[in-house]
Each structure stands twice: as C-alpha cells, then as structure tokens.
Chain A
Amino acid sequence: MQPPAPDNVYLPKIAILDRTEDEIADVRTFYWHFDDPAVQTVFKRFRPGQFAQVSVFGVGEFPASLPPSPTEPNLFLTVRKVGSVTAALHQLKLGARFGVRGPYGNGFPMQNYFGQNLVIVAGGIGLIPLRSCIVYALHNHERFRKILLFYGARTPGDLMYLNELPAWQEAPNFECYLTVDRPDQAWSHHVGVAGSLFKKPGVTVPVENTMAFVCGPPIMFRFVIRDLKAMGFEDRNIISTLERYMKCGVGKCGHCCIGLAYVCTDGPVFTYEQIKRLGEDI
C-alpha cells in the first residue's frame, strides 16, 4: 500500500517546467523537476502504472499517468489538451511553476511478471500509461521472455513516442508491430484494428506464461479482449488501467468509483478478472 500519509495529501508540490516536446496533434510531453530536491527523491520511487494529480494554479487539477519508467532519470507527463486545465497546462512557458502531487494508485506489479512473456496492446494515447511498463521491461529485458508491443492508432499522425522505437528495438527480445486504421501514402506497415495484428503472417503471440497489457479507447478495449480470449488468454492474465472522473486521487471525493472499487486507490490497474467483478459496467 501507500507510504504513510504526509501532513496534507491535498497540497501540491511545486514543479518547474524544463522542456516540452510535441507528440501528436494536441498531445504534448512536459518535462519537469520538483523545486524541492527532497520531494523529487521521494516521488521518484513511483511504479509503472501509477499517476499524479497535476495542478495549473488558478485553473484546477487533473489526474495524469506517469509515462516515464522509474528506471529513467527524467520526470515527464504526456497530456492531451481536452478541457480547461489540460489546455492551461499547454499554455505554460518554460520555467513556469505548476503543481504535482502523488504518485497515486497501485501501478503494475511488474516484479510478479519476471520470467514471463509480455504482450502489450495499446490504442492511441493508451500508450501513455503503458510507456512506463514498456521502458521498465526493456530496462530489465533479461528478466522477461519476449516483450511484444502491438500499437494502433487512427492515422500515422496519431502514433506517439515513435522516435523512441529505435532505442527500444535494441533489446533482443523486443518486437513491435504498428497499425493504423487510415494509412497515408508513406505508410508501409499494417492497416487495420489493433487485434488484426495478432493474425498477421509472421506474428506469433505467446499465450502460455504470458501477461497481456491492454490500454486504449473503450471500443478497442472490448475487441482486443475478445481477440485475446479467443487466443486462450485467461481473464486474470489480462491487465489494464481504467479511467474515471477524479478530483482527489486519494479515495475521498467519491468520483472515481466503479462498483466496488475506487479507481484512484484500488486501481487504476486492474486485471480483466477484477474488472468483471466490479459490479458496474466500465
């Protein structure tokens, strides 16, 4: 569980914006460090799959996944501009101060999967929370069998983190397959929904001794689950992160509940077996 609570869990810590990088339309990566080095040290103990509450002062606060792996030196967020606070974050200038508190949530129990294959299926910006476990797994690649990434988006312009692929591909046991719904002229990879990659000639998806990670829009999620189940994946070997309206991140505001679970403290990572038992549709 979480470390003992500090005095005021709602108090954002001051973060300083160091650098930004545009990913795809409306999605930008924000590199930051904490003003207080002691806060930075404690925060850096986050786990893949955890999230933070991000404040733009005077505007509000929202939850965002932590896409870096704890094995990387830098802290960053990748955020899509959709509403008031995310738009305000996109407006920030380098050197600006904003607020971050966390890390929150359970995260992926990566150590439990040592010795197994990882099948990682991402749709669109669903790659943001999964990036952390990809980079973590690649950093520890000798502890896993095969690490397969299946990544789909609507168009080639909607694929994220592509500039990192060459570095990722240095790991001998990593394979990556890309697909889009609507290709452009330059597109040389697969066309179709994410699940269609599983049947692509030359692709072998391990099922035994394998954990499948799935993150993406609800429709993609449903179809990928169906495909994985058809291949023989057990519900408990499929794992995902859920997204819900959140205000507090610490199990008090009540907004994020799905059935029996508080997504912020019991999740956001759940196995498909757990998702089916929540008692409310996702």
Chain B
Amino acid sequence: MRARVLAKADLLALVDCLCQDYEVIAPFAGRGRDSFFEPVTDQNRSAIRLHLPNPSYPPKRYVFPHIERMLRIHLDDLPHIEPLYDAPKRALFGIRSCDTAGIDHLDRFYLGRDYRDVYYAQLREHLFLVNVVCTDPDLDIDDDCFCMCADTGPAARDHFDLQLMDLGEELLAVAGTPAGEAYFSQPLFKKATPAHVNRRREILAEIRKRFKLATSWYAGTSRLITLKKVSNEIWEQIGNRCLECGGCSYLCPTCTCFTVTERPAGPGDYERVRIWDACALGGFTRMAGGFNPRRAAHDRRNRRFFHKLAHYFIQRDLSVTCVGCGRCIGVCHGAIGMPAVVEILRQASVGSEIHATTGA
C-alpha cells in the first residue's frame, strides 16, 4: 500500500494543493441532513468537512452531467456542425466509496464495449478522485447505507486517485494512481508506520458493525430474476407502488440512460443536448405512432431490477449494478428502493417455496 499520514489540521492545506492543479469540488453540509457538492472557493473553503451525510444529488454528474451539450448546430446557407466539449480539470474531494464504485461502473459502461463515449471520456480523464472513507457512524453512515452488502464500502479498495481515512488525530492517505502518489512529495505528508495500518484495520472492523441496514440478499435475488422465478403478480405489486417519478434512476450512481434532444440557442443556432432519462418514465420506450412495448408501470419497474440484478447483465457489466448508496430508498415515494425490492422478492420466494412443499 502506498500510504502516508498527514495531520488532521493539514486537511485544508491538502485542499489548497489540489486547488493549484484543479477546480476542486467538495461536499458541504446544508440544513438537517442535507448536503451538496459545490466548487470550493475562498469563501466556503473553511466549511469543508471530512464527515457529513453523502449528498443525495450524486457526483456522477461530474462525468455524466444532468444536461450535457453535445453539438452546436448553426443553420445558415450551409449547416455548420461543431462538437462541444467542456471538460475542465476537476478534483472531486470527499467522494464516498459507494460513489467511487459507481464511477468505476460508468467507466466500464461508457468507455467499454463496442463504442467509446467521447464526452464521458474527456470529463473522466480530467477528473481526480479523493475518496474519503466513511468512519463516523452518525455523520457518514446513514440509515439507508448498504455498501457492505454491495461490497463497495465503507472503504473503497480501488478506483480512486487518493484515499483519506480518519485515524483520530491523523489522516491516513493511500494513493491509488501515480497522479495521487505525486502529491506525497508535498511536505505535509509523513511516513506511515505499521501502527497506522493496524489502526486502519481496527477502525474498519469496528465501523462494519455500525451499519443499520445490513441485509440485501443480492445473490438470491439474482438467482430468482435470472431463472425467471419472479411471478408477474410480484412485479405488478412492485410496479403498483411506483409513481413513475424517475427519481431512483436520477439519483443512482450507476444509472446511465439518457435522451437526446435539440434546443434553440440563439438566432439560427441549435444545441443538441443529452439529458438524464429513466426507464420508469412512461415515454421511455414509446415509439412514433404510439406503440409502447412497456405499457404497464410494472413492465418498466421490472426492467430496472432486471438490468441491475440479472446474471446476464452482471456478466456484461462485470458487477451488480448497485453500489449500496441507499439513495433510491430515500427518494422513492413508493418505498421500493433496492433493499425493499430485494426483500419483497425474498419473501415471495420463501412463500412460494413453502407453497411448493406443502402443496406437494
């Protein structure tokens, strides 16, 4: 492990170092348990915290913006088409382990397979990730966190440039990339000793016991979905609770769907933009002429969980497409966030298994 330590009091000094090289984005506390990512400025710099609830509005927007301009189209005698790229050098300070895993998923999705997404690639290439390990059982770990089940947290194993972990008086810094390691030449970093590494292990062992929501029976659910053991009635039950707001997909660190549209941008000018989209929404698959292959809400809900949990997609995407951040639990008016659906499927399968043995 390429590790160093720095004094907790030097946290802002590290942020200042990053600010020399990047536009730095950090989470800030709002009212209650609200929090939000914002660019660091001279004014808000002192409000940077190591421990605070993870913002609901996910950091995926720094690689996959909510609305992203793709092309400028100028209509004159001849149309003039120009791709628009906006990829500033950014450091995301304080990204949680679940969201780091989310970005890793997006990397595999947008950069892999048949085609490479150049808009994503540019934003990602210029993004430096400073992961902060969740160690405060009250501030960092929410009632809804289930990264333990998704195997993404509380401490990310990779996919960050730098990782910081609170050891009490000091912070342990781990470099995940050469770019991260380069910062270790700054005088604020000191050598880490085996005692530091031990302390890290102890804290993690302790914090793992402090999760409130520890059940999310993925493997079993995957099996049921893959083998098509989930009855249509169960999907209907789940679908009936969906209000089709799309919130779950918008807040999901691994949801990738978008729509594309053209909008006016001045006289004779148009922009082609892409916008987050959600398979929960009624129009997602509706074709010209009105034919919609997924008419019922439960066909669409089924879709989301099928994609996230079916074995085929786990193979295709190389992981369960859920990182355990818990945002869908918080946002869903119908109480059908991921753990709830997993639980509904588990109970239904227990029911049907009992049914199968007694009915025989």
A residues in contact (CB < 8 Å) with B = 1-2, 5, 7-12, 14, 57-61, 82-83, 86, 97, 99, 218, 243-245, 247-248, 250-255, 257-260, 265, 279-282
Answer yes or no: B305 CB below 8 A from chain A CBs: no
- CB atoms of A11 and B114 under 8 A apart: no
Measured between alpha carbons, how far is A253 from B118 in the docked complex, in Å? Answer: 14
- CB atoms of B312 and A281 under 8 A apart: no
Q: Select the residue from A12, A58, A97, A259 with max chain B CB neighbours within 10 A.
A: A58
Contacts of A251 in B (CB 8 A): 113-115
Q: What's the nearest-Cβ distance from chain B to residue A254, in Å?
A: 3
Q: What's the nearest-Cβ distance from chain B to residue A149, in Å?
A: 26
A53's nearest neighbour on chain B, judged by CB, is B260
- CB atoms of B293 and A254 under 8 A apart: no
The range of chain B's interface size is: 35 or more
Of residues 278 through 297 on chain B, the ones whose CB sits less than 8 Å from some CB of chain A are: 279, 284-289, 291, 293
Answer yes or no: B78 CB below 8 A from chain A CBs: yes
Contacts of A58 in B (CB 8 A): 73, 75, 79, 262, 270
> Would you list 8 pairs from A and B whose C-beta atoms are within 8 A, ordered by A residue?
A5-B114, A7-B118, A9-B116, A12-B71, A248-B258, A252-B117, A253-B259, A255-B257
Measured between alpha carbons, how far is A9 from B312 in the docked complex, in Å? Answer: 26
In-complex Cβ contact of A61 among B118, B260, B307 (8 A) = B260
In-complex Cβ contact of B81 among A7, A12, A260 (8 A) = A12
In-complex Cβ contact of A14 among B75, B79, B307 (8 A) = B79
Contacts of B312 in A (CB 8 A): 260, 279
- CB atoms of A9 and B118 under 8 A apart: yes
Q: What's the nearest-Cβ distance from chain A to residue B347, in Å?
A: 23
- CB atoms of B114 and A265 under 8 A apart: yes
- CB atoms of B259 and A247 under 8 A apart: yes
Contacts of B229 in A (CB 8 A): none
Contacts of B288 in A (CB 8 A): 82-83, 86
- CB atoms of A245 and B115 under 8 A apart: no
Q: What's the nearest-Cβ distance from chain A to residue B12, in Å?
A: 39
A261's nearest neighbour on chain B, judged by CB, is B312
Measured between alpha carbons, how far is A245 from B283 in the docked complex, in Å? Answer: 10
Answer yes or no: B310 CB below 8 A from chain A CBs: yes
- CB atoms of B116 and A254 under 8 A apart: no
Answer yes or no: B62 CB below 8 A from chain A CBs: no
Answer yes or no: B70 CB below 8 A from chain A CBs: yes
Measured between alpha carbons, how far is A175 from B78 in the docked complex, in Å? Answer: 46
Of residues 46 through 82 on chain B, the ones whose CB sits less than 8 Å from some CB of chain A are: 70-71, 73, 75, 78-79, 81
Of residues 236 through 265 on chain B, the ones whose CB sits less than 8 Å from some CB of chain A are: 256-262
